[in-house]
């Protein structure tokens, strides 16, 4: 019984730790000097916990604060205002840090 | 008094500070400052992107002929427009318009003349290759200076977004009517997010330093 409770608590904690991350594939993002606009604009959204930009894989990921989520259309508009085109949007459960680590491990 | 006011305006413009380098404006709601410094060419400007495609700003430019005999001082208000952009899977290409309106002074004529200066920049960039062409006309009563610049370069390696990326860039430029010589400058460019610096020596062994910053 005690083991089952610990297991249940672990599962709940793990579910609570899942991040709500919007992962975008972005065309035209080739230069850090120019792409910083994406990071700044998405980072300024009140619900943003963290932003990850990967020029090589054309990926932008924006993680929401715990219990919050991003409006995908607002995220898309911010990237457009930064000067780029969003060609794909995915909702993923990995945190920005997990995505960053996975990209580094891939190299 | 008039001279002092003009000098103050020029100084302010030099401190605040338009020619095009990388992108000549930042993202919507950002400010961009840029400087280009060498013995015969000193320029600085700042602009504010009030849309994703439009920016207004001010700048100042000091130019000197190769024989060091003729000088020009310009203070101008600028409008920058992203005319077209192609966001490709692994590249970006742009067409920019830069328009300037201000005053020009020279050591071979009296007073300040009204200046207008339209220009166009075309650029193409990947994470490893950069090419750009820039042309601008400086026009005032009795003055026809045509500026042209070509830039090309490559990055030594692909860098992560958070890392500093070094580039090798070569620029050839000329200001017709003031300098009949093409200035060629190989430069090292370093980019780290909001910071962009270039330094090198031209073929006359004159030092050159450029910077751009978005904030």
Residues of B in contact with A80 (CB under 8 A): 52
pLDDT-derived band of residue A21, with 50, 70 and 90 as boundaries? very high
Q: Cβ–Cβ of B87/A58 closer than 8 Å?
A: no
pLDDT at A4: 53
Percent over 70 (pLDDT), chain A: 82
Q: Cβ–Cβ of B87/A28 closer than 8 Å?
A: yes
Q: Cβ–Cβ of B191/A33 closer than 8 Å?
A: yes
CB < 8 Å from B in window 35-94 of A: 35-41, 53-56, 58, 80-85
Neighbour-count burial of B156, counting CB atoms closer than 10 A to its CB (0-12 exposed, 13-18 middle, 19+ buried): exposed
Q: Which residue has the tokens 């920016």?
A: B55
Q: Cβ–Cβ of B27/A55 closer than 8 Å?
A: no
pLDDT at A3: 52
pLDDT at B135: 96
pLDDT at A107: 73
Interatomic CA distance for residues B154 and B99, integer angstroms? 29
A104 to chain B: closest CA residue: B160
Q: Cβ–Cβ of A36/B193 closer than 8 Å?
A: yes
pLDDT at B20: 42
pLDDT-derived band of residue A2, with 50, 70 and 90 as boundaries? low
Residue B25 in contact with partner chain A when CB distance is under 8 A:
no
Q: Taking all residues of chain A, what is their mean pLDDT, rounded to a whole number? A: 85
Hey, how many other C-beta atoms are within 10 angstroms of the C-beta on B48? 16
Q: Cβ–Cβ of A82/B52 closer than 8 Å?
A: yes
Nearest CA among B140, B204, B173 for reference residue B43:
B173
**Stretch (H or E) spanning B99:** strand B91-106
- ipTM for this prediction: 0.79
B129 to chain A: closest CA residue: A30
pLDDT at A18: 62
Strands (E), A55-100: 59-64, 85-92
Interatomic CA distance for residues A38 and A34, integer angstroms? 8
Is pTM beyond 0.95? Reply is no
Q: Cβ–Cβ of B127/A37 closer than 8 Å?
A: no
A contact test, residue of B92, B93, B154, B214 with most A CBs within 10 A = B92
pLDDT at B66: 87
pLDDT-derived band of residue A45, with 50, 70 and 90 as boundaries? very high
Is residue A9 predicted with pLDDT exceeding 70?
no
Is residue A73 predicted with pLDDT exceeding 90?
yes
Element counts in chain B: helices (H) and strands (E) = 1, 12
pLDDT at A33: 87
pLDDT at B18: 40
**CA B86, B192, A26: angle at the middle one, nearest 5?**
30
Residues of A in contact with B196 (CB under 8 A): 33
Q: Cβ–Cβ of A58/B89 closer than 8 Å?
A: yes
B contact test, residue of A30, A41, A51, A79 with most B CBs within 10 A = A30
Give the residue ranges of chain B where pLDDT is below 50: 1-3, 5-20
Q: Cβ–Cβ of B23/A33 closer than 8 Å?
A: yes
pLDDT at B81: 97
CB-based burial, B70-108: b 16+ in 10 Å, e otherwise: eebbbbbbbbbbbeebebeeebbebebbbbbebbbbbee
Please answer whether residues A75 and A22 qualify as being in contact, where contact means their C-beta atoms are separated by less than 8 angstroms: yes
Please answer whether residues A91 and A23 qualify as being in contact, where contact means their C-beta atoms are separated by less than 8 angstroms: yes
């Amino acid at each position: 019984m005690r083991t089952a409770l610990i297991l249940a608590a672990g599962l709940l904690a793990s579910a609570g730790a899942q991040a709500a991350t919007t992962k975008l594939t972005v065309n035209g993002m080739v230069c850090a000097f120019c792409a910083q606009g994406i990071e700044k604009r998405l980072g300024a959204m009140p619900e943003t916990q963290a932003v990850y930009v990967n020029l090589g894989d054309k990926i932008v990921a924006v993680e929401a604060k715990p219990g919050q989520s991003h409006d995908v259309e607002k995220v898309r508009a911010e990237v457009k205002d930064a000067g780029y085109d969003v060609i794909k949007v995915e909702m993923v459960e990995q945190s920005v840090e997990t995505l960053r680590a996975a990209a580094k491990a891939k190299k | 008094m008039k001279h002092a006011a003009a000098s103050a305006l020029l100084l302010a413009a030099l401190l605040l500070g338009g020619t095009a380098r990388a992108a000549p404006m930042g993202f919507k709601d950002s400010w961009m400052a840029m400087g280009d410094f060498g013995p015969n060419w000193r320029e600085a400007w700042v602009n504010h992107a009030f849309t994703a495609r439009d920016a207004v700003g001010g700048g100042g430019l000091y130019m000197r002929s190769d024989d060091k005999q003729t000088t020009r001082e310009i203070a101008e208000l600028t409008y920058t427009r992203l005319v077209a952009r192609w966001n490709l899977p692994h590249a970006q290409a742009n067409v920019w318009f830069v328009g300037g309106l201000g005053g020009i002074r020279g050591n071979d004529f009296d007073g300040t003349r009204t200046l207008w200066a339209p220009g166009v920049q075309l650029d193409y960039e990947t994470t490893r290759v950069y090419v750009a062409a820039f042309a601008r006309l400086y026009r005032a009563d009795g003055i026809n200076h045509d500026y042209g610049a070509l830039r090309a370069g490559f990055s030594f390696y692909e860098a992560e977004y958070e890392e500093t990326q070094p580039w090798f860039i070569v620029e050839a430029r000329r200001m017709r009517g003031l300098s009949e010589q093409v200035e060629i400058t190989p430069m090292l460019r370093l980019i780290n997010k909001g910071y962009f610096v270039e330094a090198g020596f031209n073929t006359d062994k004159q030092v050159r330093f450029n910077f751009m910053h978005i904030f």
